Amino acid sequence: MILNPISSGPEQGFIKVPDAACEKLIKTGNTVYLAVYMYALGQFYKGRTDISNGFIADCLHINVIDVVNAFLFCASEGLVAIHNFTSVGDGEFDVEFCFDVPCGAKQSDFKPHYKSGEIGKRMEENSKLAQTYKIVSGILGKTLSSSDIELLYSMYDYYGLTPEVIVVMVEYFASKGKTTMRKLEREAQKWSENGIDSVAKANLFIKKREELLSFAGTVRRIIGANERKLTTKELEYINRWQQEFQCEPEDIKKAYEITVENTGKVAFGYMNKILESWKKERETGIKEQPILKTKPAAPKKSRYNYEEIERKTFLNVTRKGGETNGL
């Protein structure tokens, strides 16, 4: 069922498609998603808000799962809002069009579920996709389960990675010990968010990642952190030092030594301030004010002079002893 929109749409008699919908749906190259959105939008303007996903599927001569996936994609892009969603298998839910503002659904909120029959049909239609399954199975050294196949297909259909990029990604992360499909799916999502849609971009991403890992290893050795895992925040600092500050290992070593001398410990935030000040000096030619050494607070002086008290006590005892000896 189609619900009333968040804000009023155009007058009936013509269809006004939001710019965002045109851009995002056409960019996908998926004509089914575009057809479903346009048909449902047209029905809405005609006042027909009681149509089902099954009805749309029949009118467009496609499967219900295609209609469901189309709306899930639109929801992920903020073009519609989905209500009363139970499961993909149920196939029915309420759709609310968003005209003035995106509905704000996250991509992972409505990830499609694919039936084995649908995936099999897509593989028959796309020889590259079918070959990808065989290659990935060989890389991982196992026969892919039905859930593995579904996750692999989602990398192609939902996250938008090409078969060639999927092979490069799986091969790379498998060499790093990531061989479960769930872990590979998380990496696929990151690649999708970073716009890695070609083998050239994939190889560039891998090159930069390897450079960061190598640089991080150098930093670990300098600060003596070989026995522990670096935190996310520490890795963010290291990435900044390499990418933004263009630091050399000698810079890290010097900043580390100053940090330990001034604070008595490894403090990434303190090191970052030092390295950032050096970067500004290189860019402006103006020497920054040196970061002052953090001195421990001086111990408070006691109002009692314990040496004087001890001396007087000794004299008193001596005098008393002398008096006793004189009796």
Better pLDDT: 86 or 114? 114
* pLDDT above 90: percentage of residues in the chain: 41
The mean pLDDT of 245-260, rounded to a whole number, is 94
The predicted structure's pLDDT at residue 4: 47
For 201, the token pair is: 């971009």
Looking at the whole model, is its pTM more than 0.85? no
**pLDDT tens across 216-247, in order?**
999 999 999 887 888 889 989 999 999 899 99
Cα 164–Cα 168–Cα 170 angle in degrees, nearest 5: 115
The pLDDT tens digits for 175-198 are 999 999 989 999 998 998 888 989
Can you give the three-state secondary structure of 131-161, one letter per residue? HHHHHHHHHHCCCCCHHHHHHHHHHHHCCCC
CA–CA separation, 263 and 165 (whole Å) = 47
| Per-residue model confidence (pLDDT) at position 79 | 86
The pLDDT value recorded for residue 261 is 92
d(CA 295, CA 27): 59
Q: Alpha helices, DSSP H only, in the chain? A: 19-28, 31-45, 53-60, 64-76, 116-125, 127-140, 146-157, 163-175, 181-193, 199-223, 232-243, 249-263, 268-284, 306-326
Q: Is residue 6's pLDDT more than 80?
A: no
User: Tokens 């004010």 — which residue?
Assistant: 289
- Taking only the tens place, the pLDDT of each residue in 78-111 is 888 887 766 555 567 888 888 765 544 444 445 6
Residue 291 pLDDT class (50, 70, 90 cuts): low
Q: Convert 55-93 to b/e letters by CB count within 10 Å (16 or more is b).
A: bbbeebeebbbbbbbbbbbbbbbbbbbbeebeebeebeb
Q: Are 291 and 271 in contact (CB under 8 A)?
A: no
- Measured CA to CA, the distance from residue 23 to residue 26 in angstroms comes to 6
What is the chain's mean pLDDT, rounded?
Answer: 81
User: Which pLDDT score, from 0 to 100, does residue 43 have?
Assistant: 87
pLDDT, residue 81, reads: 82
Check residue 193 and give its pLDDT. Answer: 86
